[in-house]
Every structure is written in C-alpha cells, then in structure tokens.
Amino acid sequence: MTHALSPSRRGFTIVELLVVIVVIGILATLVVIAFNGVRDRAVQATIQSELKQTANKLSSLRFNNESEAYPASLETAGIENTNSTSFQYTYSSGDNSFCLSGISIGTPAISYHVESASSSIFEEGVCPGHTNGVPLVANWEQLTNSGSRTWRDVASSDDGTRLAAVPGSGYVYTSSDSGETWVQQTGSGSRSWNNITSSADGTRLAAITSNYIYISTNSGVTWTQATTSPASINWQAIASSNDGLKLVAVSTGGSGYYAYTSTDGGATWTQRTGTGLSGWQSVASSGDGNHLLISSGGGGSNGFIKYSHDSGATWTSVTSLGTQSRWGTAISDDGQIMYAGPSSPTGSIVRSTDGGATWTALTGTGNNEWRGLESSADGSIVVAVARNIGHVYYSIDGGDTWEVNTSFNSTMRYAACNEACDQAILADSSGYLHRMTLE
C-alpha cells in the first residue's frame, strides 16, 4: 500500500507578518483611545461634581453672611484642593459675583469653570486670568530701543501695548507696540521724574516729580501741570483708576505729606488728612478707584500700611504687622487682594485676601527690600523686584509659590503689569527696560 506525501506547510510571508502587526497596532490604538476616553470622561465627571459641591458651599456661605457677599477667597471660605482637583477662584465685590475654575491634578490637565450667575452650568476651560494647570514659562527680553537711562518707573495699559516710562532725569518715553519702539515725548519737558501711572486704555497718564504732578490725556503727547494745595509737595508715588479719572498721590516729606485724591483726572485735588503725617512711599488703587492702599517708609504712630474703601475719605491702619517700614504695594481690581513689601531686607511680602482686614506672610520670597510690586487684575499673578539684590520674583498662584530670575543686579527697581500680568515691564535705574512674558 502506498501513501501519498502531504504537501509541506509553508510559514507566513513578510508581507503577511506586516499586515498582522499593523492590524494589532490598530486594535491596540483603538483600545488605548477607548480607555483614554473613559478615563477623561471620569475625570470630567469628577471635576464637575467637585465644582458643584464647592459652588454650593460658596452660595451657602453667602446666604449665611449678613452682607450676603460671597467669600473673598477660597482661603477665607475654608476650601482646599482635593486629591483630584485644584481650584482657582476670583471674587468681584463690585457686583458680588465669582468665577471658580476646577483643574484636574495630573496629565493631561482637564479644566472646567462655573460662575455664580449660572452655578449649574459648567463650561470647558478656566475663568479669565486663571491657568489651566500647565506651568507658565517666563521669557525675558532687554528692550534696547528704550535706551540705557536712569529709569525710575514704568506704566502699562491693560492690554500691554501702550507703555510709558520715566527716567530720573529727562523726558517721558512712550511705546504703542509693547516696548518694541519708543518715542521721546518732549511735550513732557525734561524733568527729574519719580513715578508714573496709566489708565486702562493708556490714554490718560499722570506723572510726578519731587514737587509737581503732570497730567496727559493723549498718551503722553502733551502735558499740563496740576494745581495742588500746598502748591509744591515732595511727591513720591501716584496711582490711577482704570478710567484715569480717579487719582491718588502720596508725599514723603514737607508740610503736607498726606495722601491726596482727585476725581476729575487731576484737575482738582483733595488733601486726605485721615492718613496722618508720615513718610508715605507707595500707593495702589483698585480698578474703580474706591479701594486704596498706601505704605510708609517711616510710619511712626500713624502706621506703616493703611487702606481705604471709600476713595480716601477714611483710612484704616494695619496694626497686626507691627512697625516694619514698607515700600512696595499692589492691589487687585476689586480691592480685596492686597500685597505689601518691606523697605529693608528683614521681612517677606505680606498678602491680604479680605480687603486688608487680615494679612499673611509669604515666606517663599525670603527677606528682601521690595520696591517694584505688581499684580494681575484678579490678584493671582504677582511680580516683585527685590531692590537690595535686583532679583525679580513672580508667582502664578497668588504668592503661595515663587520663581525667581537672579540674572539682574541691584539697580533693578520697578515693574508694571498688563491686566493679566502675563507681561511685565521692568525698569533698571542704570540700564535698559526689560520685558517679561509668561507663556
């Protein structure tokens, strides 16, 4: 009996193996996509749930508050981040409203936000001025077109395009392209400038010398000397409301070293004796000009920090911080978040989140002499210049943590932020202007 030989079995060809590998890869990709989709939906559900719980707590605290105001900060509300969600919060006292962002902890960052006006509607992304959990990177540029001068101060419009800067001796300089080019404004006259401030749109400017206040209503082209009483005062600092009509200026010496306010763009001024006589060094104003913060380099019995919530009519001394002299000040647009820095390297920046009632030391900056101190409109981003060493510090979480640029020297002095404070212009008193952008 004979048996036929079976044909030999052949293996897979290279082409067939490649097809199998491709199919497996496609199937694996589909599985990963499906898994990521399930995971992301779970994260989204968690964020929305925790946002709802937090918003409900804020509403409950409001109804239990005699003034029916929402909490000024998450800290005062006793709200902390969870294991899965970090929160960012902005409160506006003007219309008693808030915006709350929830950002997933981990990668990728998923975020939603909710507003008090629609507390049951969750929208993707974060509130204006909040960050989505991705660390911001600071870029630094030297603005050589500004020229090397004895820069004393700088001011910025809300969008950061219109800038104005003053040297210790010379003319006012302005820029309409975020500092790329600069114009010498000879209409200002060549003077020994101390400080300058700007309206939100950059059209109204107010600048001071040691003796006089000068006003411009056309972005620095022409200037008018303001009339004050006393006529000549040793002016130290000036600040403006967003519309440029409410101004506040402080003096550091002479017979009238109080705060002075104006409600008509600098045409007339009122002496605010409620501040008491002191060597006032710095001043900050809220967006509407109703909330003011001043600090003294030698306050004595009149205190070293004072604030006003009625446009300067009355003032409250901050006694809880002791008798340390302070220079730099910053305030949020709604006047609830305040910052102040000491005038000698023996203390840290301090912060208030309730309009000056209570203060917390921000130890992450270390002990330095703080001059330039600026914050975003919502108070979440802060830029500070340590005058004694020239280092520039910035924080994107309201001063809880800080990054620092140590490349500058002790001639770095002042800073100005746009509304979001993702652009800051820095003034070197013996060099160029510099620009920091956060991306």
Q: 415 and 336 in one domain?
A: yes
15-37: per-residue pLDDT in tens? Answer: 767 777 777 777 666 655 544 55
Residue 133 belongs to some domain of the structure:
no
Average per-residue pLDDT for the chain:
86
> 1 or 155: which carries more pLDDT confidence?
155
Q: What is the pLDDT of residue 3?
A: 44
Closest CA to 250 of 188, 302, 296: 296
Q: 201 and 69 in one domain?
A: no
53-64: per-residue pLDDT in tens? Answer: 988 898 888 888
36-54: per-residue pLDDT in tens? Answer: 555 577 888 888 888 889 8
Q: 387 and 321 in one domain?
A: yes
Residue 276 belongs to some domain of the structure:
yes
Residue 129 belongs to some domain of the structure:
no
Residue 131 belongs to some domain of the structure:
no
pLDDT beyond 70 at 327: yes
Q: 110 and 158 in one domain?
A: no
Domain count, the chain: 2
* Among 76, 91, 124, residue at a domain's last position: 124
pLDDT interval class at 331 (50, 70, 90): very high
* Among 99, 124, 149, residue at a domain's last position: 124
244-259: per-residue pLDDT in tens? Answer: 999 999 988 666 678 9
pLDDT interval class at 414 (50, 70, 90): confident
> Could you tell me the pTM of the whole model?
0.75
375 residue type, one letter: S
- Looking at residue 47, the DSSP 8-state letter turns out to be H
282-309: per-residue pLDDT in tens? Answer: 999 999 999 999 998 764 444 589 999 9
- Return the minimum-mean-pLDDT range out of 14-18, 145-149, 176-180, 329-333: 14-18
Residue 5 belongs to some domain of the structure:
no
- Can you tell me the mean pLDDT for 325-354? 89
* Among 80, 95, 124, residue at a domain's last position: 124
Query: Three-class SS of residue 27?
Result: helix
Q: What is the pLDDT of residue 1?
A: 44
Label residues 234-263 b or e (16+ Cβ within 10 Å = b).
bbbbbbbbbebbbbbbbbbbeebbbbbbbb
pLDDT beyond 90 at 129: no
Residue 119 belongs to some domain of the structure:
yes
If you search the block for the tokens 């020994």, which residue do you land on?
Answer: 192
pLDDT interval class at 196 (50, 70, 90): very high
Instruction: Read off the CATH number of the domain in which 420 is found.
Output: 2.130.10.10
The helix (run of H) or strand (run of E) holding residue 31 is helix 14-63
Residue 4 belongs to some domain of the structure:
no
Long-range contacts of 220-226 (CB under 8 A, 24+ apart): 220/164, 220/172, 220/174, 220/183, 220/185, 220/187, 220/188, 221/185, 221/187, 222/187, 223/172, 223/185, 223/187, 223/188, 223/189, 226/262, 226/266, 226/267, 226/269
Q: 339 and 301 in one domain?
A: yes
CB atoms within 10 A of CB 390: 20
Residue 7 belongs to some domain of the structure:
no
Q: 153 and 88 in one domain?
A: no
Q: What is the pLDDT of residue 4?
A: 47
Q: What is the pLDDT of residue 32?
A: 54
Q: 162 and 115 in one domain?
A: no
> 428 or 323: which carries more pLDDT confidence?
428
pLDDT interval class at 261 (50, 70, 90): very high
- Please give the Cα distance from 345 to 76 (Å, whole number): 29
pLDDT interval class at 384 (50, 70, 90): very high
Distances (CA, A) of 422 to 100, 164, 332, 352: 20, 18, 15, 22
Q: 160 and 104 in one domain?
A: no
Q: 299 and 423 in one domain?
A: yes
- Return the minimum-mean-pLDDT range out of 73-77, 142-146, 167-171, 206-210: 73-77
Q: 394 and 249 in one domain?
A: yes
Point out which residues pair with 238 in neighbouring strands.
Answer: 249
- Can you tell me the mean pLDDT for 359-378? 87
What tokens does 350 get?
């301090």
Q: 214 and 258 in one domain?
A: yes
Q: What is the pLDDT of residue 165?
A: 97
pLDDT exceeding 90 applies to what percent of the chain? Answer: 45
Q: 342 and 235 in one domain?
A: yes
Domain that holds residue 120: 14-124
- Can you tell me the mean pLDDT for 329-349? 90
